[in-house]
Amino acid sequence: MKNKHLKVLIVDDALLVTERLTKIIEELSCVKEIVIAAGYYQAVFLLKSFKPDIALLDIHLPEKNGIDLLEYIKKNYPGIKAVMLTNQTSDNYKIICRNLGSDHFVDKSSEFENIPTIIESYSGITA
């Protein structure tokens, strides 16, 4: 039941971050596939074609920001779990993201190691 079945979309324009996330997530027994988008419009395209279970979203992106993308995801794909990743950890951002339906809010600088646990907590969301 908890075999490789989750599809994860990483949306971040920082190559170092996406490489690190990919290495961490590839080790999880519940993750089947990972795709990366560097910006808002590429992410919107991938949401339609890739149909992820989980989206890891940076707040600061080229084009539109991750908060706009969160709003788009929750409006059009409410079943996708959205995890905000940011260095912008002010309460204001947390409140905005929570109100838009963010499932988690992760501080890149101090909570990066929590990401595998967060993803594994969703391993029962698809079959």
Q: Taking the domains of the chain in order of start, what are their residue ranges? A: 6-121
Q: Give the contacts of 59 (CB within 8 A, at least 6 positions apart).
A: 65, 66, 67, 84, 85, 86, 88, 93, 97
DSSP, res 3? S
pLDDT in tens, 7-51: 999 999 999 999 999 999 999 999 999 999 999 999 999 999 999
The CATH homologous superfamily to which domain 6-121 belongs is Response regulator (3.40.50.2300)
Position 89 confidence tier, pLDDT thresholds 50, 70, 90: confident
- The C-alpha atoms of residue 68 and residue 83 are separated, in whole angstroms, by 14
pLDDT of 121 above 90 = yes
What pTM value is reported for the model? 0.93
In the chain, DSSP finds a helix count (H) and a strand count (E) of: 5, 5
Chain mean pLDDT for the chain? 92
